[in-house]
């Protein structure tokens, strides 16, 4: 394994690379950093040249002032590593970045795996936001980042159908710690992310890369709603619903998640 910091678009992004073969890039969720892939990185590196990195403002990648685009950071990191084409796996916010990158640089994406993803520009007013999400925003605005992080763990890691004690404490603790870094960086208000115009929700018919959608059956209703919208716009997409997990199935059920991913990737290779 090699590790390093890439000077990209005015930022320094921390990354790790291991393995040989076709490139596979892991994009973390907005409440995590690259450590969320601890149970995948070595397993995937047995078959692929696997890359994980911290988005700017997450983990070991500090935020910087100025405008930027996460999908352009990804492009620059691939250039830095000499990767022309890759499979992308993105969870939640990472899935949104993967979609935006694919729409911008379609020739560079061999396939997409989206886990509990969002789609920029899609909004369904019929879906009610969980009460904890509003409480988390109030805590963040008040500077109580520890409470905000815990509330976001309740929303996304526990999900709407479980109590905290029903979820492995080590997973909750790990996500809370990762999220605290992101929340504190977000509070610094350094940097402004650019968005695609028009947004991805209006361009999904342009996606040509093979696509796998993975959703946990205990996730928030909005995630299932986004998944229905995405598969409706991309009929060729395959969908897997994992039982007994919420927003982070790769952390809750790593063996099953890894099997789904490797089976699907193997099928793409023919």
Write out the chain's pLDDT in tens, 270 residues: 999 999 999 999 999 999 999 999 999 999 999 999 999 999 999 999 999 999 999 999 999 989 999 999 999 999 999 999 999 999 999 999 999 999 999 999 999 999 999 999 999 999 999 999 999 999 999 999 999 999 999 999 999 999 999 999 999 999 999 999 999 999 987 788 999 999 999 999 999 999 999 999 999 999 999 999 999 999 999 999 999 999 999 999 999 999 999 999 999 987
Whether residue 103 is found in the same domain as residue 222: yes
Whether residue 23 is found in the same domain as residue 110: yes
Question: 124, 125, 107, 121: which is closest to 198 by C-alpha?
Answer: 121
Whether residue 54 is found in the same domain as residue 135: no
Instruction: Identify the domain boundary among 187, 209, 229.
Output: 187
Whether residue 96 is found in the same domain as residue 162: no
Instruction: Identify the domain boundary among 140, 157, 187.
Output: 187
Q: Residue 178 sits in which domain range?
A: 131-187
As for how many domains the chain has, the answer is 2
What pLDDT does 107 receive?
Answer: 98
Instruction: Identify the domain boundary among 140, 168, 187.
Output: 187
Whether residue 116 is found in the same domain as residue 209: yes
Whether residue 13 is found in the same domain as residue 144: no
CATH number, domain with residue 258 = 3.40.50.1820
108 C-beta neighbours (distance < 10 Å), count: 19
86 C-beta neighbours (distance < 10 Å), count: 22
> Are 70 and 193 contacting, i.e. CB atoms less than 8 angstroms apart?
yes
Q: Hey, what are 79's tokens?
A: 């250039």
Whether residue 10 is found in the same domain as residue 89: yes
Whether residue 14 is found in the same domain as residue 88: yes
The whole model's pTM is what?
0.97
In tens, the pLDDT along 170-221 reads 999 999 999 999 999 999 877 889 999 999 999 999 999 999 999 999 999 9
Region of 261 on the Ramachandran plot (φ > 0 left; ψ -120 to 50 alpha; else beta): alpha
Whether residue 137 is found in the same domain as residue 14: no
Whether residue 119 is found in the same domain as residue 246: yes
Whether residue 149 is found in the same domain as residue 171: yes
Whether residue 109 is found in the same domain as residue 73: yes
């Amino acid at each position: 394994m090699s590790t390093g910091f890439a000077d990209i678009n005015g930022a320094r992004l921390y990354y790790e690379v291991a393995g040989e073969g076709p490139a596979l890039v892991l994009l973390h969720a907005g409440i995590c950093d690259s450590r969320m892939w601890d149970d995948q990185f070595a397993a995937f590196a047995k078959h692929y040249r696997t890359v994980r990195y911290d988005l700017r403002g997450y983990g070991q990648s500090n935020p910087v002032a100025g405008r930027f685009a996460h999908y352009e950071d990804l492009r620059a990191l691939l250039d830095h590593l000499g990767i022309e084409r890759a499979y992308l796996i993105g969870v939640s916010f990472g899935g949104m970045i993967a979609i935006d990158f694919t729409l911008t640089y379609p020739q560079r994406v061999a396939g997409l795996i989206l886990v509990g993803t969002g789609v920029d520009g899609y909004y369904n007013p019929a879906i009610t936001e969980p009460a904890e999400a509003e409480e988390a925003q109030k805590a963040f605005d008040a500077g109580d980042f520890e409470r905000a992080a815990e509330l976001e763990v309740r929303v996304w890691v526990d999900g709407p159908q479980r109590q905290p004690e029903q979820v492995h404490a080590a997973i909750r603790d790990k996500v809370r710690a990762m999220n605290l870094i992101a929340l504190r960086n977000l509070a610094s208000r350094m940097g402004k992310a650019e968005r695609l115009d028009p947004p991805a929700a209006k361009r999904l018919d342009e996606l040509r890369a093979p696509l796998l959608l993975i959703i946990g059956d205990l996730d928030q209703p909005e995630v299932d709603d986004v998944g229905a919208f995405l598969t409706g716009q991309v009929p060729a997409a395959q969908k897997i619903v994992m039982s007994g997990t919420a927003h982070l199935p790769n952390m809750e059920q790593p063996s099953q998640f890894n099997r789904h991913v490797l089976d699907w990737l193997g099928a793409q290779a023919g």
